[in-house]
Amino acid sequence: MTAHYCVFVAGPVQGHTVLVTGAAGAVGHYAVQLAVWAGAEVIGTVSSEAKAERARAGGAAHVINYRDEDVPARVRELTEGRGVDHVVDVDFGGNLASTLGAVRTNGSVAFYASNGNRAPPLPVRELMQHNVRLFPMSLPGTPAAARKRAQCDIARWVASGSRVLSVAARFPLAETARAHEAVERGGKIGTVVVECAR
């Protein structure tokens, strides 16, 4: 649902170019797939070749390894200088300069985390000059109508058969602390799932 909200919060993405940072991550991988399902061309950023393969499997048309490549320069090259229409960002503070270099004038950025810098200085003038719309989000605060739409769209997407589920690890409920440790270690590809006994 976080991926869905971030993909669609600024409007339809059909025919648009969407940049998904962390395109192999727990949220990013679903954002890639939902954006492609809705008719967008997706550029994803990743940190390794294994993650690049995962992003491509989800439908990303282009993948950029942010450790080796200049993301804004590569995005501008891929979009013939225009930049992307929309960004789904896993680390707003950490990626701010890169994101602003990649998004086009009148584009938008939705973000669901900011661990690289939790209190980044906001370049207000640059945002104003390029009329970039920002959409910070936390799932519990999203409007009920957005959650309902997400439920309906996700059900349709799952039924379409075009999904790639990404489960990195499974833990029983009694080992929830271990599940959190697995997430905090990083490096995982996919979602860590905690399962209740039946």
User: Which residue, 78, 79, 26, 47, is CA-closest to 194?
Assistant: 26
Per cent of the chain over pLDDT 90 is: 89
Residue pLDDT, tens place only, 53-110: 999 999 999 999 999 999 999 999 999 999 999 999 999 999 999 999 999 999 999 9
pLDDT confidence of residue 191 = 86
Q: What is the mean pLDDT of the chain?
A: 95
CA-to-CA dists, residue 141 to 2, 31, 112, 144, angstroms? 11, 19, 12, 9
Amino acid, res. 3: A
Q: How many residues does the chain have?
A: 198
Nearest to 85 by CA among 22, 139, 142, 9: 9
Domains and CATH numbers, the chain: 2-146+150-159 (3.40.50.720), 166-195 (no CATH)
What value does the mean pLDDT take over residues 158-183?
90
Q: What Rg, from alpha-carbon coordinates, does the chain have? A: 17
pLDDT given for residue 115 in this prediction: 92
pLDDT of 146 strictly over 90: yes
Give the per-residue pLDDT at 189. 79
Instruction: Give the integer Cα–Cα distance in Å for 29 and 156.
Output: 17
Express as a percent the part of the chain with pLDDT over 70.
99
Q: DSSP states of 74-107 as a string? A: HHHHHTTTS-EEEEEES-HHHHHHHHHHHEEEEE
pLDDT level of residue 198 (50, 70, 90 thresholds): low
Residue listed under structure tokens 């949220």: 27
From CA 120, how far away is CA 78, in angstroms rounded?
28
| Residues 130 and 103: beta-carbon distance below 8 Å | yes
DSSP state of 5: H
Q: Mean pLDDT lowest for which of 34-43, 75-84, 189-198?
A: 189-198
Residue 56 has a pLDDT of: 97
Q: What predicted TM-score, i.e. pTM, was given to this entire model?
A: 0.92
**Tens-place pLDDT, residues 174-184:** 999 999 999 88
